[in-house]
Amino acid sequence: MQSHNVGTPIASSHALPQASKDTLAVLDHLIGTHAQRLVRRFYDAFLEDADGAAFLSHQMVETRLVHSLRQWLIDLFVSADTEAQRKIGEVHARIKLPFGLVIKGAALLKAEMSDLLIKSELDRAALASTLVFVDARMDWAMGLMSEAYMQGSMRRAQVDEAFRLFAVGQDVSLTRETQNAALMEWLQSILFPLLEGTSNADLVPLAKSTFGLWFHHRAGLIFQGAPGLEVIHSNLKQIDTIVLPKLQESRPTNGEEMRKLLARLRELVEEIKFVLSDLFQSIAGVEGGRDPLTRALNRRFLPTILGREVSIASSTGTPFTILMIDVDHFKQINDRWGHSTGDMVLQQVADVVMDTVRFNDFVFRYGGEEFLIALVEAGVNEGYEIAERVRARLAERRLRLSDGNHVQVTASVGVASYSGHPDYVQLVDAADRALYEAKHSGRNRTVVSQEAFAGTP
Amino acid sequence: MQSHNVGTPIASSHALPQASKDTLAVLDHLIGTHAQRLVRRFYDAFLEDADGAAFLSHQMVETRLVHSLRQWLIDLFVSADTEAQRKIGEVHARIKLPFGLVIKGAALLKAEMSDLLIKSELDRAALASTLVFVDARMDWAMGLMSEAYMQGSMRRAQVDEAFRLFAVGQDVSLTRETQNAALMEWLQSILFPLLEGTSNADLVPLAKSTFGLWFHHRAGLIFQGAPGLEVIHSNLKQIDTIVLPKLQESRPTNGEEMRKLLARLRELVEEIKFVLSDLFQSIAGVEGGRDPLTRALNRRFLPTILGREVSIASSTGTPFTILMIDVDHFKQINDRWGHSTGDMVLQQVADVVMDTVRFNDFVFRYGGEEFLIALVEAGVNEGYEIAERVRARLAERRLRLSDGNHVQVTASVGVASYSGHPDYVQLVDAADRALYEAKHSGRNRTVVSQEAFAGTP
């Protein structure tokens, strides 16, 4: 370790940037004179911006925001209230205003204020220090807002996910049947008046039916972002805005046209049913935390576990090692005996792995025939030992095939230990490269990553 | 609506702030000459900072970061690569670097660069435009980083929560027994050598036992932030750093001291068992999405549902109304007949509410005897009708008591409709104020909030 010249420390407590009395007086005057114009230009720009406009209406700007922003500017350069900045960050998080927009907004205000300052009578030195101060004070506010914003957004993401899983965990098969029935019920409510020739009976839009309301207000929560949602949404829209109005119009005068429209309606509804059934199918598989075949952990949890273990290792100084295990020549097994045999082999490989590691280790299915194991509080030597034990047990085990025959497989292993880098992805990459080496130097062997990040612990 | 003078538009695409050739040349020269010093001061400040130091080591700074930051500075003012800024944001999210620190770091660099520029020969105009440009370019990078950072962090929070719920959903009672047994097993491994007087047998630290590893690497995920965790952690530490070393030291020479230490050990282990059992108890209740008594939704999901409904209302223009329902004089029921009768009454009130609202509405238990109902796609009139229906049905219903008697209760209702404010908390507050009015104007009535935010839809 060497000695360092210490520069300006980053204040952990978000210290408020200070300015001379003169600078404050200049800004006081500037804001007093131009606040209205600054604020107006700010919101004009915001309302012109597609992202920004989604959060604002002209009315809101007129009745409230113009006043609030003006007050914020005054407060920022006079009283500089820490809590006020945090509060704003919280509200922004609650309304899901993208933080990039907040930063852009601040940049806009800075630019406008700089413009005014440059046009002022200030001399070189005073101008420069005022520009620097305006910038620093704004950044101070951004720093506080961003903290509150992040906290609020993370908490929200957490609760959203909890609700989604709760909704998924509710009786899904019941929901599927209920909604199928609701869709059919709506269809009947359309078809009977048409068949009976009841003229003028209003056709209820699908979007307003029980099914439509469920779809708009619940399905999005359960199937978050699934592409199928778009299909249903578009079919729903087509039915309500094209097919239904035309049906209403054409009956009872035009039989041919009506037949066509009914065929189209049927098609659209059938597709909704089909896609919906697919969506329900998909969550049945994905929501489990474990890979259904091998019972190993789902790899989507890797960031949670590895991120956490890396930060435990970093803060407590305990070692942490990961193994990347890949079955050798697995493709040949699949090709020769078929996929269901391949699956049986994988299941037994996973059993060997899980029986060999310790109770508190984490075993993930990483890819087709690849497993990633997080060995908690294990250094590189212990990691190597466990890897070799897995490899040796696997090599001597006779795995059952469905036809009663047996097969033997080997595996290659890459080992990498935490060595100071805070990003777990680096660790995974190092293990991956070690595995690659194990493969290319003949397979059925363990290779330890020699990469050390900034010296080993 | 009125016409607006349009100011500088906020570029939705994070347009890159541009500068004249002269300005770029000045910065090129400045960075070429002083990059080393800028970077050095930056990291010195960072390493001095408690929050910052948690993410860095002197070695990391020396071997990699000094170089990367230098390159970033050069790139930022020359090639200004958009993707590079996003990548940095992603990595920061992955290592959970607080975004406030990133903003502080940028402020530090800006301050140092401004210092150098002010000390240069630049005239007033050139100095001012260079200062403004440095600031704008840095903010451009912060804007991009923040977007990638927020995306990464939200995804992470989501996956973390999914894993936590998965872990909780695993066989919790089995885990409870397993870990109790593991703790007892460790205790035996300590007691037997002591009783047998086996000298020199090493006493395994609790932290290294199966229980200790489970506690450090799994329990934190399951009981996230529960205060009990701290208690166990501190007991574990006391056992390993004080009690065990003293036991090892005192045996077999000092019988009296040993008895004291064993009593202390027992005490600490008992407390761990007690707190742990409490922790397991607590998740059994909380994790359900519904209030166990009334089967209404848990209010922790309010942000998810109301936030979502407000944004659906805002983007599609459909109405949205909430009701706040409070049972009148509920305290008297509790006082007169006791809490279990009060609970029965609440259950039946909840049944009336849930039977009266529509299939797709959301009913939350908001407080002791208070319910919040989110009426999707319902305007203020429909909201009032539903509220009145609930109120009337409740007033005429005879509710059963446990002793076979009956009681009648009334409720007051506050109604508020979405009227343009993006923050759902405003809507809840408006309904709350309407409810307050209903209470204070005599109870057993519905009051509609007259507050309109920036005009009604």
Q: What are the tens digits of pLDDT across the range B380-422? A: 999 999 999 999 999 999 998 878 889 999 999 999 999 888 8
A103 in any annotated domain? yes
Domain count for chain B, please give it: 3
Query: B3-12, B55-64, B88-97: which has the highest mean pLDDT?
Result: B88-97
Cβ atoms within 10 A of the Cβ of A159, count? 20
Check whether residue B189 and residue B255 sit in a common domain: yes
In chain A, DSSP finds a helix count (H) and a strand count (E) of 18, 7
Q: Please check the confidence at residue B372 and state whether its pLDDT lies above 70.
A: yes
| Tens-place pLDDT, residues B273-282 | 999 988 888 7
Q: Please check the confidence at residue B234 and state whether its pLDDT lies above 80.
A: yes
Instruction: Name residue B277's amino acid.
Output: S
Q: What residues of chain A lie within 8 A of the CB of B9, using their CB?
A: 45, 48-49
**Whose CA is closest to A155, among A217, A224, A90, A85?**
A90
Q: Please check the confidence at residue A1 and state whether its pLDDT lies above 90.
A: no
Tokens of B130: 């260079």
Question: Alpha-carbon distance A364 to A139, whole Å?
Answer: 42
Check whether residue B431 and residue B339 sit in a common domain: yes
Predicted pLDDT of residue A195 = 73
Find the range with the poorest average confidence among A177-181, A242-246, A253-257, B308-312: A253-257
Q: What is the mean pLDDT of residues B432-456?
A: 85
Instruction: Name residue B252's amino acid.
Output: P
Q: What residues of chain A lie within 8 A of the CB of B47, using their CB?
A: 4
**Would the CB atoms of B128 and A114 count as touching at under 8 Å?**
yes
**Would the CB atoms of A150 and B11 count as touching at under 8 Å?**
no
Please tell me which residue, B56 or B211, carries the higher pLDDT value.
B211
Check whether residue A150 and residue A184 sit in a common domain: no
Question: Alpha-carbon distance A118 to A131, whole Å?
Answer: 9
Tokens of A149: 């914003």
Find the range with the poorest average confidence among B18-22, B220-224, B259-263: B220-224
Q: Chain B 7-66, CB below 8 Å of chain A: which residues?
A: 7-12, 14, 40-42, 44-52, 54-55, 57-60, 62-64
Interface test with B, best of A135, A302, A321 (most B CBs within 10 A): A135
Cβ atoms within 10 A of the Cβ of A418, count? 26
B224 in any annotated domain? yes
Supply angle C-alpha A149, A151, A154, rounded to 5. Answer: 105
Residues constituting chain B: 457
Q: Chain B 238-277, CB below 8 Å of chain A: which residues?
A: none
Predicted pLDDT of residue B370 = 97
B423: domain CATH number? 3.30.70.270
Contacts 24+ apart (CB under 8 A), B357-360: B357/B386, B357/B390, B358/A210, B358/A213, B358/B386, B359/A210, B359/A213, B359/A214, B360/A210, B360/A213, B360/A214, B360/A217, B360/A218
Check whether residue B243 and residue B303 sit in a common domain: no
pLDDT-derived band at B8 (thresholds 50, 70, 90) equals very low
Predicted pLDDT of residue A258 = 83
- The residues facing A371 across adjacent strands are A325, A365
End position of a domain, from candidates A226, A255, A286:
A286
| Tens-place pLDDT, residues A341-392 | 999 999 999 999 999 998 889 999 999 999 999 999 999 999 999 999 999 9
B358 in any annotated domain? yes
Please tell me which residue, B6 or B253, carries the higher pLDDT value.
B253
End position of a domain, from candidates B246, B265, B286:
B286
Check whether residue B93 and residue B113 sit in a common domain: yes
Question: Alpha-carbon distance B175 to B180, whole Å?
Answer: 8
Q: Is the bond preceding A252 in cis, omega lying within 30 degrees of 0?
A: yes
Question: Alpha-carbon distance A352 to A361, whole Å?
Answer: 14
Predicted pLDDT of residue B365 = 95
Put simply, whether A157 touches B (Cβ < 8 Å) is yes
Check whether residue A235 and residue A311 sit in a common domain: no
Put simply, whether B100 touches A (Cβ < 8 Å) is yes
Check whether residue A142 and residue A25 sit in a common domain: yes
Check whether residue B320 and residue B432 sit in a common domain: yes
> What residues have CB less than 8 Å from B290, skipping those under 6 apart?
B296, B297, B298
Question: Alpha-carbon distance A296 to A350, whole Å?
Answer: 7
Check whether residue A126 and residue A29 sit in a common domain: yes
**Whose CA is closest to B104, among B45, B35, B147?**
B45
Check whether residue B104 and residue B196 sit in a common domain: no
B408 in any annotated domain? yes
pLDDT-derived band at A6 (thresholds 50, 70, 90) equals very low
Instruction: Name residue B445's amino acid.
Output: R
Question: Alpha-carbon distance B416 to B389, whole Å?
Answer: 16
End position of a domain, from candidates A286, A317, A341:
A286
Predicted pLDDT of residue A4 = 34
Predicted pLDDT of residue A104 = 85
**Whose CA is closest to A310, among A191, A421, A445, A435?**
A421
A6 in any annotated domain? no
A292 in any annotated domain? no
Angle between helices A339-356 and A330-337 (to 10 degrees): 140
DSSP A447: E
A157: domain CATH number? 1.10.490.10
ipTM of the prediction greater than 0.85, yes or no: no
pLDDT-derived band at B347 (thresholds 50, 70, 90) equals very high
Put simply, whether A177 touches B (Cβ < 8 Å) is no
Q: What is the mean pLDDT of residues B259-269?
A: 91
Check whether residue A126 and residue A221 sit in a common domain: no
Question: Alpha-carbon distance B36 to B205, whole Å?
Answer: 47
| Tens-place pLDDT, residues A75-103 | 899 888 899 999 999 999 988 888 888 88
Question: Alpha-carbon distance B325 to B395, whole Å?
Answer: 13
Tokens of A335: 């090709």
Q: Please check the confidence at residue A54 and state whether its pLDDT lies above 50.
A: yes
Per the structure, the complete domain to which residue B181 belongs is given by 172-286
Predicted pLDDT of residue B168 = 75
DSSP A369: T
B167 in any annotated domain? no
Q: Are B283 and B223 in contact (CB under 8 A)?
A: yes
Predicted pLDDT of residue B252 = 61
A276: domain CATH number? 1.20.120
> What residues have CB less than 8 Å from B314, skipping those under 6 apart?
A54, B418, B420, B422
| Tens-place pLDDT, residues B174-198 | 888 888 899 999 998 888 777 776 6
A294 in any annotated domain? no
> What residues have CB less than 8 Å from A350, skipping those under 6 apart?
A293, A294, A295, A296, A363, A365, A371
Interface test with B, best of A97, A101, A109, A132 (most B CBs within 10 A): A132
**Would the CB atoms of A208 and B377 count as touching at under 8 Å?**
yes
pLDDT mean across residues, chain B: 87
Percent of chain B with pLDDT over 90: 47
Nearest by CB: B4 against A44, A308, A376: A44
Question: Alpha-carbon distance A104 to A107, whole Å?
Answer: 5
| Tens-place pLDDT, residues A19-45 | 999 999 999 999 989 988 888 888 888
Nearest by CB: A103 against B146, B307, B309: B146
Check whether residue A432 and residue A361 sit in a common domain: yes
Cβ atoms within 10 A of the Cβ of A200, count? 7
Nearest by CB: A156 against B114, B136, B303: B303
